[in-house]
Amino acid sequence: MFPEQEYEGLEPASTVRKLQRLAEHCVRSVPACCGAVATLSDGGGDGDGDGERRTSATHPDLAALVAVQLDSGDGPIRAALDSGEPVDAEDLLTDERWPDYRAMALGSGVRASVTLPFHRAGMDITLNLYGFRPGSLGHAAHGCAAILGEEITAGLARDRRYRAALTEVGQLSTALRSRPVIDQAGGIVMHVLGCDADEAYRVLRHVSQLTNRKLADVAAGVVRTRGRGLEKELARLAPDAPRR
């Protein structure tokens, strides 16, 4: 088995470790497989390399086979993602599809490849298996490699949903903590300007946008000073505010 090489992207490091294990397990589980590459990118991309893609390969030459496909915008990865079905290249010596990919594969000693696509939770994952002998991976698309790919994809989807849930909980907690301060600041602005609540909150939002600060931070500053020294500035931001 080739030594492993890992490439970092935007997903957590744990994601790459799972892709790495997927590639390694496939090499051990598929007798004719000489190496493997697992990739992950956000679904809906065009696969031409513009988006971020996580790649974990069991050999650097195989990682280069992914790069050449991204550079050319063509190859079994694109074909598999477009069709949603495995793409099998039984003998790259006679297979005339994807000339750039084919040339690099043959230069690396690869004669056969199969690419399995998986899509879930907004992720596109591919499992790419390579063989030295032509026709050696014909059954890989529906064997243990497919099962391993489904299991890893399901696990990564759960991880992504969990991270999204944690982010939402954090945002809600922040909103709940900041709301009393924003309400208090709104009351101070209403008193200073003699305006109604809607106008007060509009002024606070305007200050937030102008200063590129969070609304909660702006509100905290107003509360801290009790509006002292801000009368002219607040009035300038709300010239049409009704006076009481």
> Can you give the pLDDT at residue 165?
79
Going by C-beta distance under 8 Å and a sequence separation of 6 or more, which residues neighbour residue 21? 152
Pick the residue with more confidence: 121 or 240? 121
Run of H or E including 115: strand 112-120
Q: Identify the weakest region by mean pLDDT among 37-51, 69-83, 126-140, 151-165.
A: 37-51
Query: In 3D, which of 188, 177, 168 has the Cα closest to residue 234?
Result: 188
The pTM for the full model equals: 0.63
Rounded-to-10 torsion of CA 29, 31, 35, 40: -40
Average pLDDT, the chain: 81
Residue 109 scores a pLDDT above 80: yes
Residue 12 scores a pLDDT above 80: no
Helix (H, G, I), strand (E, B) or coil at 50: coil
Query: Residues 181-203: pLDDT tens digits?
Result: 888 888 888 888 888 888 888 88
> Can you give the pLDDT at residue 91?
94
Q: Identify the weakest region by mean pLDDT among 44-53, 92-101, 227-236.
A: 44-53
- 244, 194 Cβ separation under 8 angstroms: yes
Residue 48 scores a pLDDT above 50: no
Model confidence band, residue 98 (pLDDT cutoffs 50, 70, 90): very high
Q: Which residue has the tokens 């009393």?
A: 180
> Can you give the pLDDT at residue 137?
87
Residue 205 scores a pLDDT above 80: yes
> Can you give the pLDDT at residue 45?
46
Per this entry, what is the length of the chain?
244
> What percent of the chain shows pLDDT beyond 70?
80
